[in-house]
Amino acid sequence: MITRFAHHLGPGSHLRGLVATHLLAGLLQGMALGMLIPFLRALLSGEEPVGWLVAIGVTAGLSALIGALATVRGYEIASYDVCGRLIRMVGDKVQHLPLGWFDASSVGRVTTATSTDVHVLSHLPSMVLPQIASTTGAATGVAVMALAHEPIMGVAMVITVPLCAWCLRWLRRCVVQEFEAHEAAQARLSSRMLEFARLQAVLRSTGSCRDGWEPLETELDEEHRASARAMTAKGPATTVFHLSVEAAMIVAVGAGLSQLLGGHLDAAAFAALALMAVRFAEPVGMLAMYVDPLHEADVALSSIGEILDAPILPEPEEDAGAPTAPYDVVLNQVSFGYSPGAPVLRDVSLRLPAGSVTALVGPSGSGKSTLLRLVARFWDVDAGEVSLGGVDVRRIPTAELMDAVSIVFQDVYLFDTTIEENVRIGRPGATDEEVRVAARRAGLEEVVDRLPAGWDTRVGEAGGALSGGERQRVALARAFLKDAPILLLDEVTSALDGANEAAVTRAMEELSRGRTVLVIAHRLTTIRGADRIVVLTDGRVEAVGSHEELYATAGTYRRFWEDQTAVDRWRLVRAGR
């Protein structure tokens, strides 16, 4: 794990040097303790003990100094290398990941990685690794000095190390298995609790939660059982480990006592060696304390590693430059799937002439949103080619491709800042007048005029202070301000009320003028005037034509239109009327 950790931090992290320094400090501490043997012998035999006393003081002082400096350095590494560098690394990686990588779960992973996981990993250089290294060093120093002064007693200490190591591995294996099960149970419980909170209106209206909600109760019970298993699983291994450590001390002291009674060891040396045996057992026994933190760090490191090791879309070796006019979009025999053997699009060929409006229609899961996102190179196609202005999108640098495309999604995310700053994201260098013009064309100006703080109104987290229609107007204002030649609209009006839908539809119509537009619409009436309508079914193009041409055939489009027309005529009436 340390190797992986150092690899992610990079060559300038000095993590291995930190571990080596704490190891040296612990080793010196153990050697200082071992010098008690010659010191006590000199003291009890009437020899001059000052030399050994000075040696003990210098060695112990050097150990303390090195340990203190390494501790300070450990906190610096925790603050700058771990917290600072890892957050920057994740941020840099996120900027280069393909847009298709981002979904609800990936956003949560990034949030967890840059908060909880980084916090957990910051404990490694500041607390966990220094303690393990110094503990190991101290035990090693004690063993070396014992072997040097009394080999039999030193061997008695060392021969129990394999048993201790085996018990420690057993303990870690027990912890990993059961704690992973506990973490999974906690994740399921968290999801169920969020669901329980969101469904309060439904549950109360149906009386389903008077005596508790069974799915939540089930997950609570399972989490409790998993927690109990995690706590009890390491009990036997922990007990055996501590017994093995105590056995090491008893065996060493017993060997020393045997030597003392046999006249092969003097009392001073035995007293010092007995103290060393205790000092050997104490740090080794403490290693069990770090099994849980090491496992937590391992999980956090794996989580961050999934982001840092995520594949990115390759940039073109030969820069084909930005697409140029005419800005047509061509899909040539495109096939694509999110996983091997499960294609979402099959052999799709389409041409969107420059300056035209093309609408995508089809049942849920037919591949509409996937096709739209492939135009912006959210992913690379499995087969075929997507080109803008005659250039394969794989040969266009990402920055230049993004300059050529504006995307407006159904779910608009706004930054927790002012309305003006959210619009200005479309083109950061725009003048105030250009921002106002874009807002006016998007129908946003009338929204701003109603707000007490006007343009300085903060939109809240994710734009929560604005309605869905108001957020869409901000997104359209961004697109007006960016003024890209290719426009992608993904079900922009599907969740809007009548007034907002009308305003957003007018803005979309104006925004579409002079641009190559690909639009997915929930309401077919909004795309009736499109230059062409493409019907997708099971990832294939079923039909292409105008509204009139497609309605004249007894196909999927006509069925959709008739179903939606019937729904629009639906009304609530009083009983008996």
The pLDDT profile of the chain, 577 residues, written as one tens digit per residue, is 666 666 666 655 677 788 889 899 988 988 888 888 788 778 777 778 888 889 989 998 999 999 899 888 888 877 777 787 888 888 888 888 887 887 766 776 787 788 888 888 888 888 888 888 888 888 888 888 878 877 877 787 777 777 777 777 777 776 677 777 776 777 677 777 777 777 777 777 776 666 667 777 888 888 888 888 777 766 676 777 777 777 777 887 888 788 888 877 778 777 877 877 777 777 777 777 777 788 778 878 888 888 888 888 888 877 666 677 778 999 999 999 988 888 899 999 999 998 888 989 888 888 888 999 999 998 899 999 999 988 899 988 888 888 899 888 877 888 888 999 999 988 888 898 999 998 888 888 888 888 888 888 898 887 888 888 888 888 888 988 888 899 888 877 665 666 666 777 777 787 788 888 898 877 777 788 888 999 999 899 988 988 888 888 868 888 888 887 776 666 655 655 5
As a CATH number, domain 1-147+295-312 is 1.20.1560.10
- Domain coordinates of the chain in residue numbers? 1-147+295-312, 151-264, 334-568
Give, in order, the Cα–Cα distances in Å from 360 to each of 329, 530, 539, 559.
14, 10, 12, 15
Give, in order, the Cα–Cα distances in Å from 492 to each of 215, 228, 376, 475.
35, 49, 17, 10
What is the 3-state composition of the chain as percent helix, strand, coil, each rounded to the nearest 5? 65, 10, 25
Of the options 3.30.450.40, 1.10.357.10, 3.40.50.300, 3.90.550.10, the CATH number for the domain spanning 334-568: 3.40.50.300
Spatial separation of the C-alpha atoms in residues 23 and 422, rounded to whole Å: 52
Spatial separation of the C-alpha atoms in residues 569 and 489, rounded to whole Å: 27
CB 63 within 8 A of CB 32: yes
Question: Any bridge partners for residue 407, and if so which?
Answer: 488
State the virtual CA torsion across 82, 87, 89, 94 in degrees, nearest 10: 160
DSSP string, 545-574: E-HHHHHTSSSHHHHHHHHHHHHHT-----
CB 320 within 8 A of CB 392: yes
3-state SS, one letter per residue, for 261-301: HCCCCCHHHHHHHHHHHHHHHHHHHHHHHHHHHHHHHHHHH
Collect all residues with Cβ–Cβ distance below 8 Å to 109 and sequence separation of at least 6: 303, 306, 307
Burial class (CB in 10 A: 0-12, 13-18, 19+), 433: exposed
Q: Which two tokens stand for residue 296?
A: 């937590």
